[in-house]
Structure 1
Amino acid sequence: MLKTFPKSEAVIAESAIFYKSINDADSAHSILDKAIASNIKSARIYRLLGSIYTANGNNENARKNFYNALKINPNDSWAYIGLAKTTKADKFITLIPAINTILNKKTCSNNEKSGLTFTKAWAIKKSDPEGYFELLTTANNFAAQDHQEYIDQLEPHLREIRENINEDALNSIDTSKQNHTYSPIFIISLPRSGTTLLEQIIGAHSQTSPIGESGAFSYAIMQAAAQLKTSTNFEQWPSQKNFSNFLPILDKHFQSYLPVRESKDRRPVDKSLLSYKQLGLMFATYPNAKIIHIQRHPLDNILSCYHQFFENHHNHLFNLEALALNSKMFNEQMSYWKTVFPKKILTVSYEDLVLQQEEKTREILNYCELPYEEQCLKFYEHIGTINTASNEQVRQPMYKSSIGQWKQFEQQLQPAIRILGMDQS
Structure 2
Amino acid sequence: MGTKDRQGKALKGGNPAALPLVDAAAMQTALDLAARGKTADAAKMLEDIARRNPANATAPFNLGMLCYKAGSLAEAEKSFRKALARNPEDGETLAYLAGVRLDRGAHAEGLELWEKAKCHPLSARSWVTIGGILRELGDIPHAKECFETALALQPDCIEAFYGISRVRKFTTEELAAMRRIANVRTTDEKIKLEFSLGKAGLDNDEAEEGFRHYAEANRLKKSTRPVDISLYEKYADSLIGLFSQDVVRRLRGRGSVTSSQPVFIVGMMRSGSTLTDQILSSHPDVRSVGEAEYFVKGIPAYTNTEVPGHFRAGAPSITREFIDKLTPDVLDTIGRKYLSLTAPAAQGATRVIDKMLHNFFWVGLIRLALPNAKIIHTTRDPVDTGLSLYTLLFTSHLPWTYDQRDIGRYILSCNRVMDHWKKLFPGAIYEANYERMIADQESETRKLLEFCGLPWNDSCLKFHETKRQVNTASATQVRQPIYKDSVKKWKKYEQYLQPLIKTLEGGE
TM-score (normalised: structure 1) = 0.84
Please tell me whether residue 61 in structure 1 is matched to residue 164 in structure 2.
Answer: no
Q: Separation in 1 of the partners of 2:108 and 2:233?
A: 41
Q: How much has 1:51 moved relative to structure 2?
A: 1.4
Q: Separation in 2 of the partners of 1:287 and 1:24?
A: 34
Q: 1:134 aligns with which of 209, 212, 228?
A: 212
SS in 2 for 1:13: helix
Please tell me whether residue 368 in structure 1 is matched to residue 445 in structure 2.
Answer: no
Q: Separation in 1 of the partners of 2:356 and 2:475?
A: 16
Contact 1:17 1:28 in 2 (8 A): no
Q: How much has 1:364 moved relative to structure 2?
A: 1.1
Please tell me whether residue 165 in structure 1 is matched to residue 220 in structure 2.
Answer: no
Contact 1:260 1:268 in 2 (8 A): no
Please tell me whether residue 50 in structure 1 is matched to residue 135 in structure 2.
Answer: no
Q: Match for residue 197 of structure 1? A: 275
Q: Separation in 2 of the partners of 1:404 and 1:106?
A: 35
Q: Match for residue 488 of structure 2? A: 404
In structure 2, list runs of 5 or more residues that go unmatched: 1-42, 51-59, 75-98, 303-312
Q: Match for residue 84 of structure 1? A: 165
Contact 2:67 2:73 in 1 (8 A): no
Of structures 1 and 2, the larger Rg is shown by 2
Q: Separation in 1 of the partners of 2:427 and 2:466?
A: 31
Q: How much has 1:302 moved relative to structure 2?
A: 0.9
* Larger RCO (CA within 8 A; separation ≥ 6): 1
Q: 1:9 aligns with which of 51, 64, 70?
A: 64
Q: Separation in 2 of the partners of 1:163 and 1:36?
A: 57
Bigger shift: 138-147 or 293-302?
138-147
Q: 2:295 aligns with which of 210, 213, 217?
A: 217
Contact 1:147 1:322 in 2 (8 A): no
1:245–1:86: structure 2 CA closer, same or farther, 3 Å change rule? same
Contact 1:293 1:348 in 2 (8 A): yes
Q: Match for residue 262 of structure 1? A: 345
Q: What is the one-letter code of the residue matched to 1:26?
A: G
SS in 2 for 1:233: coil
Q: Match for residue 151 of structure 1? A: 229
Quote the RMSD (CA, aligned, Å): 3.4
Contact 1:150 1:315 in 2 (8 A): no
Q: Match for residue 17 of structure 2? A: none
Q: Match for residue 233 of structure 1? A: 316
Contact 2:136 2:469 in 1 (8 A): yes
Q: Separation in 2 of the partners of 1:255 and 1:175?
A: 18
SS in 1 for 2:357: coil
Cα deviation code 1:93-127 (max 9, x no counterpart):
5445664565x446321x32121111112223143
SS in 1 for 2:377: strand
Q: Match for residue 117 of structure 1? A: 194
Contact 1:51 1:62 in 2 (8 A): yes
Q: How much has 1:146 moved relative to structure 2?
A: 7.4
Q: How much has 1:355 moved relative to structure 2?
A: 0.3
Q: Separation in 2 of the partners of 1:9 and 1:42?
A: 17
Q: What is the one-letter code of the residue matched to 1:319?
A: D
Cα deviation code 1:374-405 (max 9, x no counterpart):
22111112142111111111111111111111
Q: Separation in 2 of the partners of 1:325 and 1:242?
A: 30
Percent identity for Structure 1 against Structure 2: 28
TM-score (normalised: structure 2) = 0.71
Contact 2:258 2:372 in 1 (8 A): yes
Q: Separation in 2 of the partners of 1:51 and 1:354?
A: 27
Please tell me whether residue 392 in structure 1 is matched to residue 476 in structure 2.
Answer: yes
Cα deviation code 1:165-191 (max 9, x no counterpart):
222223323845341123311111211
1:273–1:150: structure 2 CA closer, same or farther, 3 Å change rule? farther
1:70–1:281: structure 2 CA closer, same or farther, 3 Å change rule? same
Number of matched residues?
410
Q: What is the one-letter code of the residue matched to 1:117?
A: E
Q: How much has 1:321 moved relative to structure 2?
A: 0.6
Q: Separation in 1 of the partners of 2:414 and 2:453?
A: 27
Cα deviation code 1:248-278 (max 9, x no counterpart):
3323332233x65222211211111211111
Contact 2:128 2:146 in 1 (8 A): yes
Q: Separation in 1 of the partners of 2:329 and 2:159?
A: 46
